[in-house]
């Protein structure tokens, strides 16, 4: 007899800000360990991880932006979003040095971030992952992956 699927209660118990921070920390650990090609020199250790965001249409992205801003070892360098209303809102929350693009592929080529956080519609994650993989850019998303791409 097969038991019905029951999602883990652990994920529902954690406050959303804690989950976002956990995602950011995991991304920084992975990227920080390899950002300088595996080097562990003091110069490599002091450099910030260059992060880009693709998409602003999920509400929790605003918390992720705050988490990145508060992280001393990370720097938000670019955001790709085509919705002008969301871009206007983001411009008020991020440093003026952050570049905005309406095409995420062009952003990847122009800015060359070390890590990308995708906060787009779920059906776009695989497309973004593939483009990041072609450029050897670390990738993170806020949702669980489905096995439809296998």
- In the chain, where are the structural domains located? 14-141
Confidence check: pLDDT of 60 > 70: yes
Distance CA 135, CA 39 (A): 20
For domain 14-141, is the CATH number 3.40.50.720?
Answer: yes
C-alpha torsion sign, points 105, 136, 44, 51: positive
52 and 27 Cβ atoms separated by less than 8 Å:
no
Mean pLDDT for 61-73 is: 90
Which H or E run includes 66?
helix 61-69
Greatest CA separation for the chain? 58
Q: What percent of the chain has pLDDT over 70?
A: 63
């Amino acid at each position: 007899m097969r038991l019905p699927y029951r999602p883990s209660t652990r994920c529902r118990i954690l406050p959303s800000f804690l989950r976002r921070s956990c995602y950011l920390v995991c991304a920084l650990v992975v990227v920080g360990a390899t950002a300088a090609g595996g080097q562990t020199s003091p110069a490599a250790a002091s450099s910030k991880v260059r992060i880009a965001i693709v998409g602003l249409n999920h509400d929790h992205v605003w918390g992720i932006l705050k988490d990145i801003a508060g992280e001393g070892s990370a720097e938000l360098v670019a955001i790709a979003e085509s919705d002008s209303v969301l871009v206007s809102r983001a411009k008020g929350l991020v440093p003026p040095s952050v570049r905005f693009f309406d095409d995420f592929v062009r952003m990847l080529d122009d800015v060359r971030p070390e890590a990308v956080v995708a906060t787009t519609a779920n059906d776009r994650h695989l497309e973004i992952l593939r483009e990041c993989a072609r450029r050897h850019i670390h990738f993170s998303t806020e949702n669980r992956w489905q096995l439809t791409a296998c």
